[in-house]
């Protein structure tokens, strides 16, 4: 440090003789400047050097007992073997000074600054070193037992082999410090020592709670019985460290090297060891809960008999790891490398093994609700395993022999199962969504409730299977043999069934919405299906069994449906204009608001059918059986009902203008407010029919039987309509 070249500075500059004189007389030297003086061996005990500047002075073996050096500045001074016992150096600034071998017993260094100074072997025990700033200084071998080091800054300091036993070190930073072989036994060390060298240090019983030891070297350090609560050890080297009996809570040891470390017995909980190196470590028999080991290296580790719960091991390396007899619950191993791992007798439940490399691994016999999607497996590795509910998505199992396995509830989403052997398997409620099942064999398999949505399985041989509630929506099952199958409540919405064989199969409550069925074989097929938005031109409908089908808004204009069994089917708002329905079974069918204009319904059975608001204009229903049918507000002008059995039918407010009912049976029919203008009811039997409020201008009632028929009640009619009643049938026709 350069001494300012001005009169005031020179005024305070003392020669050696002046110093000796003042020391002899006890005169204060506060604020003086001592430049390059040889004061070795001089007795300066009790001298007041407060605020003084000493530059390049030789103070070897000098006596500075009780000297006052508060806020003094010492630059490049040599204080080797000097006696500084009891000296007060609070707030002093020392730069590149040497104090090796000096007697520092009782020296006060609170808030002092010691830049690049050497204090090797000094006694600083039981001292208050709070606020000390000592970058790059050397305290090697110093005695700091019981000292208080709070709010200190000790970057790159050398504390190798220093004795800090019982010291209180809090909120102190020691970046890149060297504490190699230091003794911190029982110390309270809430320090920040990023990159510090603590190799071989003794930290037994030390309290390292909230300490920051990121990238520190703690190899072979003794941490026996130490307390590490919320301690940051990210990237630290702990190889061979002794952590036996240590208390580990919420420790963050990401990317730390823990090879050969001795861990405390008992449970390990809530530790963050992401990316840590734990190779060859013995963790057998331990309980590990809520820990993070993602991307950690556990190759060759002994994890036999461990109990893991809520542990994250994503993308970890466990090559050759022993997991035999382990209990893994809610463990995440996604993307892990488990090649050659031994998981025999392990219990794995609700865990993720997805996208893992399991080649050469010995899998546990029981895998309950485990996700293994996208993992690499060797053929035969699943044989003899309990796989119920396991996620096997995105696996390539082409050509695998899976015969007899219980695959109930398994997930094969987007898996490749080409030519796989699934004979005698249990695939109930199994998901094959978007799976490639080309050439797969299913003989004897249980496929109830299986999901094949968007699956590729052309030519699948499923003859005689019970496919109750199976779903093939958007699947490619073209050319498949689905004959003699029970397809109750099965789904084929938007499915490709071109060329498939559905002969003699039961499609009860089956969903065929927008299904493609070009060239499908339907011999003896029983349809009870939802066929909304279906292309009915794909195959002939005549003579087919389509009972209980949903054909809402269906366009069947001009279609030939002769002799079809359509009982209980729904044709709500369907277009059947000009359709040929002769001889069909329409019992309990629903044609509400359907268009049946000009349709041929001759000789049909439509008991209890509903034609409410339907259009039956010019429809031909001659000699048909419509007993108990409901036809309110039907529009049937010019329709042909001659010879029909219309007993107990309802025609309220129906438009039956010019309709023909010759010889029809209308016993108990309710034709209230119906329009029968120009209708032909000659020879019809209207026994006890309700004719209240009808309009029958120009109607032909000749030979009609009206015994018990209820004519219009004038008073009631006036009250209901507020106008004069229409004309009544001729009295002579009332017989």
- Domain stops at, among 78, 94, 118: 118
**Domain annotation covers residue 404:** yes
Name the phi and psi angles at 20, rounded to 5. Answer: -65, -40
Measured torsion, CA atoms of residues 389, 392, 398, 402, in degrees rounded to the nearest 10: -30
Residue 728 pLDDT > 70: no
Query: DSSP strand E in 543-652: where?
Result: none
Domain count within the chain: 2
Backbone angles phi, psi at 376, to 5 degrees: -100, 120
Token readout for 7 is 């009169």
Q: Comparing C-alpha atoms, which of 596, 591, 636 is closest to residue 612? A: 591
Distance of CA 286 to the CA centre of its chain: 28
**Per-residue pLDDT tens digits for 48-93:** 999 999 999 999 999 999 999 999 999 999 999 999 999 999 999 9
Alpha-carbon distances of 91 from 130, 144, 732, rounded to whole Å: 11, 19, 135
pLDDT at 3: 45
Long-range contacts of 37-42 (CB under 8 A, 24+ apart): 40/78
Structural domain range at position 15: 1-118
Residue from 473, 469, 440 nearest 455 by CA: 473
Residue matched to tokens 């893991």: 308
From 334, 328, 333, select the one nearest 303 (Cα to Cα).
Answer: 328
Structure confidence at residue 733 as a pLDDT band (50, 70, 90): very low
The two three-digit tokens of residue 671, written as one number:
């034709």
Question: What is the structure's pLDDT at 412?
Answer: 96
User: What is the spatial distance between Cα 168 and Cα 241, in angstroms, rounded to a whole number?
Assistant: 22
Output the pLDDT for position 539: 80
- Residue 96 placed within a domain: yes
| Distance from C-alpha of 267 to C-alpha of 265, rounded to nearest angstrom | 7
Structure tokens at 415: 């898996």
Question: What is this structure's pTM?
Answer: 0.72
| 43: nearest Cα among 15, 12, 82, 98 | 82
What SS3 state is found at 153?
strand
pLDDT tens, position by position, 234-285: 999 999 999 999 999 999 999 999 999 999 988 999 999 999 999 999 999 9
Is the dihedral angle over the CA atoms 99, 100, 106, 108 positive or is it negative?
Answer: positive
Asked which of 90, 118, 146 is the last residue of a domain, the reply is: 118
Q: What is the 3-state secondary structure (H, E, C) of 181-211?
A: CCECCCCEEEEECCCCECCCCECCCCECCCC
Q: What's the CA gap between 46 and 65, in Å, rounded?
A: 6
Q: Give the CA distances from residue 227 to residues 220, 246, 253, in Å, rounded to whole numbers and listed in that order.
A: 17, 6, 15
- Tell me whether residue 280 is exposed, middle or buried, using C-beta atoms within 10 angstroms of its C-beta: 0 to 12, 13 to 18, 19 or more: middle
Give the separation between CA 79 and CA 60, rounded to whole angstroms. Answer: 5
DSSP annotation of 393 reads T
Does residue 390 carry a pLDDT above 70?
yes
d(CA 227, CA 224): 9
Q: Which of 118, 140, 170 is the last residue of a domain?
A: 118
Count how many residues are written for the chain: 735
Residue 18: alpha-carbon gap to chain centroid:
83
Q: Quick check: 561 and 584 in contact, CB under 8 A? A: yes
| CA dist., res. 467 & res. 446, Å (int) | 8
- pLDDT band at residue 367 under the 50/70/90 scheme: confident
Q: How many percent of the chain have pLDDT more than 90?
A: 86
Whether the per-residue pLDDT at 141 is higher than 50: the answer is yes
Average pLDDT, the chain: 93
Cα-based distances in Å from 403 to 153, 358, 372, 441, 443: 70, 21, 19, 9, 10
* Residue at token pair 């006694």: 123
As a whole number of angstroms, the distance between CA 286 and CA 143 comes to 40
Look at residue 734 in the predicted model and tell me its pLDDT.
Answer: 44
Asked whether residue 650 carries a pLDDT value surpassing 50, the answer given is yes
Domain contains 527: no
CA distances from 20 to 24, 50, 231, 708 (A): 6, 17, 54, 151
Residue the block writes with tokens 């006052």: 68
**Alpha-carbon span 225 to 205, nearest angstrom:** 5
Instruction: Calculate Rg over the CA atoms of the chain.
Output: 50
36-71: b or e for each residue (b if 16 or more CB lie within 10 Å)?
A: ebebbebebbebbbbbbbbbebbbbbbbbbbbbbbb
Q: Is 547 strand, coil or helix?
A: coil
pLDDT greater than 70 at residue 8: no
pLDDT at 730 over 70: no
Q: What is the CATH number of the domain that holds 406?
A: 2.160.20.80
Tokens of 423: 């004979």
Q: State the alpha helices, DSSP H only, in 251-334.
A: none
pLDDT of residue 129: 96
Which tokens go with 331?
């463990």
Burial of 5 (0-12, 13-18, 19+ CB in 10 A): exposed
Q: Give the model's confidence band at 10: pLDDT under 50 very low, under 70 low, under 90 confident, else very high.
A: low
Got the DSSP string for 15-71? -HHHHHHHHHHT---TT-EEES-B-TT-B-TT-B-TT-EEES-B-TT-B-TT-B-TT
CB 686 within 8 A of CB 709: yes
Specify if 618 maps to a domain: no
pLDDT tens, residue by residue, 193-212: 999 999 999 999 999 999 99
Cα dihedral 681, 684, 687, 689 sign:
negative
Q: Is residue 108 part of a domain?
A: yes
Residue 114 inside a domain? The answer is yes
Residue 211, in any domain of the structure: no
Give which of 547, 577, 540 is closest to 562, Cα–Cα. 540
Q: Are 396 and 376 in contact (CB under 8 A)?
A: no
The pLDDT score that the predictor gives to residue 732 is 42
List CB contacts of 39: < 8 A, sequence separation 6 or more: 16, 19, 57, 58, 59, 62
Q: Which neighbouring-strand residues pair with 192? A: 173, 212
Contact yes or no for 215/238 (Cβ under 8 A): no
DSSP string, 79-144: -TT-B-TT-B-TT-EEES-B-TT-B-TT-B-TT-EEET-B-TT-B-TT-B-TT-B-TT-B-TT-B-
57 within a domain of the structure (yes/no): yes
Cα 633 from chain centre: 56
Q: Pull the structure tokens for residue 551.
A: 């054909």
pLDDT of 11 above 80: no
**Separation CA 101–CA 123 (nearest Å):** 9
Mean of the pLDDT values across residues 477-500?
96
Query: What tens digit of pLDDT does each residue of 514-571 get?
Result: 999 999 998 888 888 888 888 888 888 898 888 888 888 999 999 999 999 999 999 9
Q: Ramachandran region of residue 650, left (φ > 0), alpha (ψ -120 to 50) or beta? A: beta
């Amino acid at each position: 440090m350069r001494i300012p070249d001005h009169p005031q500075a020179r005024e305070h500059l003392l020669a050696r003789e002046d110093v000796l004189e003042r020391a002899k007389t006890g005169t204060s030297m506060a604020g003086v400047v001592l430049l390059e003086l040889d004061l070795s061996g001089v007795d300066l005990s009790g001298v007041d050097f407060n605020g003084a500047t000493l530059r390049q002075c030789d103070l070897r073996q000098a006596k500075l007992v009780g000297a006052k050096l508060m806020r003094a500045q010492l630059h490049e001074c040599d204080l080797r073997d000097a006696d500084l016992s009891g000296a007060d150096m609070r707030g002093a600034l020392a730069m590149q000074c040497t104090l090796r071998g000096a007697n520092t017993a009782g020296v006060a260094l609170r808030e002092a600054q010691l830049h690049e100074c050497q204090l090797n072997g000094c006694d600083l025990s039981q001292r208050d070193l709070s606020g000390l700033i000592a970058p790059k200084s050397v305290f090697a071998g110093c005695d700091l037992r019981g000292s208080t080091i709070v709010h200190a800054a000790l970057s790159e300091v050398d504390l190798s082999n220093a004795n800090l036993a019982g010291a209180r070190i809090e909120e102190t930073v020691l970046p890149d410090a060297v504490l190699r072989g230091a003794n911190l036994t029982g110390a309270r060390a809430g320090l920040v020592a990023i990159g510090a060298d603590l190799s071989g240090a003794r930290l037994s019983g030390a309290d390292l709670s909230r300490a920051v030891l990121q990238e520190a070297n703690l190899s072979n350090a003794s941490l026996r019985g130490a307390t590490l609560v919320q301690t940051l050890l990210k990237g630290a080297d702990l190889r061979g460290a002794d952590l036996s009996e240590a208390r580990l809570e919420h420790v963050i040891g990401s990317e730390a090297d823990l090879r050969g470390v001795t861990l405390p017995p008992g449970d390990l909980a809530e530790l963050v060891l992401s990316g840590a190196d734990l190779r060859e470590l013995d963790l057998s028999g331990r309980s590990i809960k809520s820990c993070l080991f993602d991307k950690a290296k556990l190759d060759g580790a002994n994890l036999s008999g461990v109990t893991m719960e809520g542990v994250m091991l994503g993308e970890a390396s466990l090559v050759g790891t022993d997991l035999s007899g382990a209990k893994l619950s809610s463990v995440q191993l996604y993307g892990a490398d488990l090649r050659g791992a031994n998981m025999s007798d392990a219990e794995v439940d609700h865990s993720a093994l997805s996208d893992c490399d399991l080649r050469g691994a010995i899998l546990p016999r029981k895998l309950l609700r485990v996700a293994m999607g996208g993992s690499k497996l060797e053929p035969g590795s699943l044989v003899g395993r309990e796989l119920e509910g396991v996620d096997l998505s995105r696996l390539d199992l082409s050509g695998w022999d899976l015969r007899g396995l219980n695959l109930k509830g398994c997930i094969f989403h987007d898996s490749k199962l080409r030519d796989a052997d699934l004979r005698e398997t249990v695939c109930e409620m199994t998901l094959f969504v978007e799976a490639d099942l080309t050439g797969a064999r299913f003989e004897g398999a249980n496929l109830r409730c299986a999901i094949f949505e968007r699956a590729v399985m052309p030519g699948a041989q499923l003859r005689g299977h019970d496919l109750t509630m199976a779903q093939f929506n958007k699947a490619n099952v073209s050319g498949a043999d689905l004959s003699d199958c029970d397809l109750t409540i099965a789904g084929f919405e938007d499915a490709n069934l071109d060329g498939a064989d559905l002969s003699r199969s039961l499609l009860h409550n089956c969903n065929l919405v927008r299904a493609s069925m070009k060239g499908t074989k339907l011999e003896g097929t029983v349809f009870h299906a939802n066929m909304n938005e279906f292309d009915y031109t794909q195959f002939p409908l005549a003579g087919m069994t389509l009972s209980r089908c949903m054909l809402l808004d269906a366009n069947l204009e001009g279609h030939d449906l002769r002799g079809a069994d359509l009982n209980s089917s729904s044709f709500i708002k369907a277009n059947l204009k000009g359709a040929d329905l002769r001889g069909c079974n329409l019992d309990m069918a629903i044609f509400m608001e359907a268009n049946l204009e000009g349709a041929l319904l001759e000789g049909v059975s439509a008991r209890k059918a509903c034609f409410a608001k339907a259009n039956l204009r010019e429809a031909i229903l001659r000699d048909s059986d419509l007993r108990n049918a409901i036809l309110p507000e039907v529009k049937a002008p010019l329709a042909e009902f001659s010879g029909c059995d219309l007993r107990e039918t309802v025609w309220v407010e129906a438009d039956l203008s010019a309709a023909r009912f010759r010889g029809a049976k209308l016993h108990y029919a309710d034709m209230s407010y119906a329009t029968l203008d120009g209708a032909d009811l000659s020879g019809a039997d209207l026994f006890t029919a309700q004719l209240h409020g009808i309009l029958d201008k120009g109607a032909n009632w000749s030979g009609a039987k009206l015994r018990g028929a209820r004519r219009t009640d004038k008073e009631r009619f006036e009250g209901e309509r507020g106008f004069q009643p229409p004309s009544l049938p001729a009295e002579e026709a009332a017989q």
